[in-house]
Amino acid sequence: MKSFQNLVLLQNLYRLKALGFEYSDPFSVNEKNSDDVPMNLKHLCQTISTCHLCDLSKSRTQSMSGYGNESADLMIIDFTVSHSDDSQNGYYTGRSGESLKNMCENVLGLTIEDVYFTHAIKCKTLNSNIPSSSEWDSCKSYLFSQIEFVKPKVIVTLGNDAYYKVMGEHENFENVRGHVIDCKKYKLIPMYHPQFLLRNPELKKITLNDLKTIKSCL
């Protein structure tokens, strides 16, 4: 959790700077007694909702911390918050979200309340730009802490960007899509993003097989 202490510290420094304060002297944080270190998923989501660590906090409507069962066997990770998600303050919005919901319910036999769904980047990007590396650096501890708190059996990453962020590698996505990857205490299965499938409907049959693989691991 030390990385979270650094995030909270940086957040407070940004707030002070915005108020006109200047700072230069280093100071230490009492790691054992800090009340700002999230001890559970609910506390973590509260931290995410008030995060101002990067410029995305200026363009978002709200931070999207996550939705669903906090003890889910299946965790789905998207890359970024869509304009539809941000404007509606909801998950599974738009055609892409409805498609993902149908996959969960009609193929996996799960409701969206059975799954835990979150994003690698917790805020909508400005003008649909690709998030910068510094914006990912501000968010990644949130994501990996969510994984530790939920402790899913299976993690599904939607699209190549989400896979790259979770795994920290740039493997050819077609070489890993639909494969079961042993990663720490869980199994990770990359699949096509629903938005990509809407543009390439001929790949839905392949994705159906990937969903069957996911179901077999739960």
What is the pairing mode between strands 181-183 and 186-191? Answer: antiparallel
Which pLDDT band holds residue 117 (cuts at 50, 70, 90)? very high
H helix intervals, the chain: 2-18, 41-49, 56-59, 83-88, 94-102, 133-150, 159-167, 173-176, 194-199, 204-217
Cα separation of 67 and 64, whole Å? 8
List pLDDT tens digits, range 12-61: 666 656 666 665 544 333 333 345 667 888 899 888 888 888 878 777 77
Which two structure tokens, joined as six digits, stand for 107?
């193929």
**Cα–Cα–Cα angle for 194, 118, 154, rounded to 5 degrees:** 80
Which pLDDT band holds residue 3 (cuts at 50, 70, 90)? low
Region 118-143: what's the mean pLDDT?
83
Region 145-167: what's the mean pLDDT?
94
Q: Which of 1-5, 91-95, 123-127 has the highest mean pLDDT?
A: 91-95
Give the residue carrying structure tokens 């990857």: 181
Cα separation of 34 and 201, whole Å? 50
Which pLDDT band holds residue 136 (cuts at 50, 70, 90)? confident
Average pLDDT, the chain: 84
Residue extents of the structural domains in the chain: 66-217
Q: What is the pLDDT of residue 184?
A: 81
CATH of 66-217, one of 2.30.30.40, 3.30.465.10, 3.30.420.40, 3.40.470.10: 3.40.470.10
pTM (2 d.p.) = 0.80
Which pLDDT band holds residue 79 (cuts at 50, 70, 90)? very high
Which two structure tokens, joined as six digits, stand for 115?
């799954």
Lowest mean pLDDT segment, chosen from 114-118, 134-138, 164-168: 134-138
Q: What is the pLDDT of residue 50?
A: 83
Choose among 190, 156, 186: nearest CA to 176: 190
Phi-psi region of 41 (alpha: psi -120 to 50; beta: other; left: phi over 0): alpha
Q: What is the pLDDT of residue 31?
A: 38
List pLDDT tens digits, range 88-102: 888 898 899 999 999
